Amino acid sequence: MRRIAEFDALRGVAAVVVVVFHLLEDPRLGLMGSAVDLFFVLSGFLITSIILRTHEAPGFLRGFYLRRALRIWPIYYLSFLVLWAYVPFFQHDPSFEGLPYYLSFTQNIQQNWKGRVAPHFPLYGHTWTLAIEEQFYLLWPILVPIVGRKRLPLLLVPLIVGPIFARVAGVPISAIVARCDALAWGGLLAWLASGPGADRLRSTRARWAFGLIGAAGVVGVVGFGRLTGLHYLQWPYEGPAMPRVWASLQMSSLGLAYLSAVGFTISSAGRPWMRPLRGPVLGYLGRISYGLYLFHPLAFFPVNQLRYRAFGGHDWFVFDLAKLALAVGMAAASYRFIEAPILRYKDRISSGSGSGAAIASAVPSTTGEADSIRADPGVRLPVPGATHLGTSARESRPEARPGEAGRSGAGGGVA
């Protein structure tokens, strides 16, 4: 049994980058918000790996959905109780019209079909990324077994190319049809890692290939950014059709860069030069990244209340530190007292069924620690399984004034 501890570090870095981006609220730093696409690539890779390994087990779908629900739902719905305690402090009475969308993870569905945002629910605009992942978890374990491993690229290629045209057509990038390319890149990497030549992914040649892919992605981000006149991601882009093409290709280039990061991590796992990514701090931040994503707007709100009510709205650095500390504290408490016990329970109940045992052999039976991978006989590269990614670092823009409903945040600077 091997562990890819570096995956936790990638999650930790991405989570911190997105939280800091929302803390600073500077559109010139929009590339920081694109770190959610790193989570999407990781999610596509890990979940596709699980499906390819376990979809033939009896009761696979039931076990898969049960594990996803136990990982995501408890603190998500619990967070609404925390939000309810904030309602008396809102400057204006919040509208609950959008609540059903958020409770059902469909807050971005209208953007897919009607091009408009669901009625906003305060402090939860950032959870459109969680909605994308939930929709992915719902559909992907059905589609992959139908298509089969051999024909999986025939499904993945349209999912990589299609969002380019969807974004050019003006589909918001918080809609799954315009943002699924990062998930598909991860799925393609899982397909490569599960094939007969999977051992080649740990070769020096593979590391060079991923390095070149990453370099091409960075060149694309910079080059297409200059063609649009945007030296950072600024979404949604509104302007002439041709710059919209460059802006969409810029986002695709980001997908390549993040694919490179995940692929290089797989090919270099355990190597001496990866030691900084195996440190305890980044690993821990990765394990609590789901709570950090979910709770950071709820942590920013009371500090903003204090700042405006007691200190006249002064924007002192100490308040930023307080927001970060409270966000990490809430995430740590959530993981220690809620998520970890539920994850242990999830592993116990899954071990009693064929599907659960199969999935447990592909994922670590731990409480959200670094992803473990088991080597197949005769294959030097293990096929990764997954704990949940921390479900992606999601974005939110924190309260600007005491009592205001939070503005809808978005990856890559989407407003």
pLDDT level of residue 141 (50, 70, 90 thresholds): very high
pLDDT level of residue 349 (50, 70, 90 thresholds): low
Structure-model confidence comparison of residues 171 and 253, the more confident one: 253
* 286-344 per-position pLDDT tens digit: 999 999 999 999 999 999 999 988 888 888 899 999 999 999 999 999 999 999 999 88
How many other C-beta atoms are found inside a 10 Å radius of the C-beta of residue 90? 17
CA distance 362 to 141: 15
Q: Are 234 and 415 in contact (CB under 8 A)?
A: no
Q: What is the pLDDT of residue 195?
A: 83
* Number of alpha carbons in the 13 Å side-chain half-sphere of residue 32: 19
Q: Are 256 and 214 in contact (CB under 8 A)?
A: yes
pLDDT level of residue 367 (50, 70, 90 thresholds): very low
Q: Quick one: what percent of the chain has pLDDT higher than 90?
A: 56
* 227-245 per-position pLDDT tens digit: 877 655 655 566 677 788 8
Structure-model confidence comparison of residues 371 and 180, the more confident one: 180
Give how many domains the chain has, as a whole number: 1
Q: Quick one: what percent of the chain has pLDDT higher than 70?
A: 78
Q: What is the pLDDT of residue 239?
A: 65
Helices (H), 114-179: 128-147, 152-168
Q: What is the pLDDT of residue 348?
A: 72
Structure-model confidence comparison of residues 259 and 389, the more confident one: 259
**Looking at residue 93, what DSSP letter applies?**
P
Q: What is the pLDDT of residue 8?
A: 94
* 110-126 per-position pLDDT tens digit: 655 555 666 677 888 88
Q: Are 46 and 384 in contact (CB under 8 A)?
A: yes
Handedness of CA 310, 313, 318, 322 (dihedral sign): positive
Q: What is the pLDDT of residue 3?
A: 63
Q: What is the pLDDT of residue 73?
A: 96
Structure-model confidence comparison of residues 211 and 29, the more confident one: 211
What is the chain's mean pLDDT, rounded?
A: 81
pLDDT at 399 over 60: no
CA distance 137 to 135: 5
pLDDT level of residue 147 (50, 70, 90 thresholds): very high
pLDDT level of residue 162 (50, 70, 90 thresholds): very high
Q: Are 131 and 108 in contact (CB under 8 A)?
A: yes
Q: Are 57 and 63 in contact (CB under 8 A)?
A: yes
Q: Are 140 and 155 in contact (CB under 8 A)?
A: no
Q: What is the pLDDT of residue 5?
A: 86
> Looking at residues 380-385, what average pLDDT do you find?
32
> Looking at residues 166-189, what average pLDDT do you find?
92
CA distance 4 to 231: 34
Reference 264, options 216, 182, 220, 201; nearest CA is: 201
Q: What is the pLDDT of residue 174?
A: 86
In sequence order, which residues have a C-beta less than 8 Å from that of residue 114 and are 6 or more positions away? none
Q: Which two tokens stand for residue 262?
A: 């995940």
**Domain hosting residue 309, numbered range:** 2-413
Reference 173, options 258, 241, 108; nearest CA is: 108
CA distance 83 to 94: 11
Query: CA-based angle 252:42:254, to the nearest 5?
Result: 20
Highest average pLDDT, of 227-241, 268-282, 344-358, comes from 268-282
CA 87 to chain CA centroid, Å, is 28
pLDDT level of residue 355 (50, 70, 90 thresholds): low
Beta bridge partners of 346: none
Reference 300, options 329, 262, 261, 342; nearest CA is: 329
pLDDT at 99 over 70: yes
In angstroms and rounded to an integer, the radius of gyration of the C-alpha atoms of the chain is 21
pLDDT at 356 over 60: no
pLDDT at 133 over 70: yes
Highest average pLDDT, of 83-97, 150-164, 333-347, comes from 150-164
pLDDT at 382 over 80: no
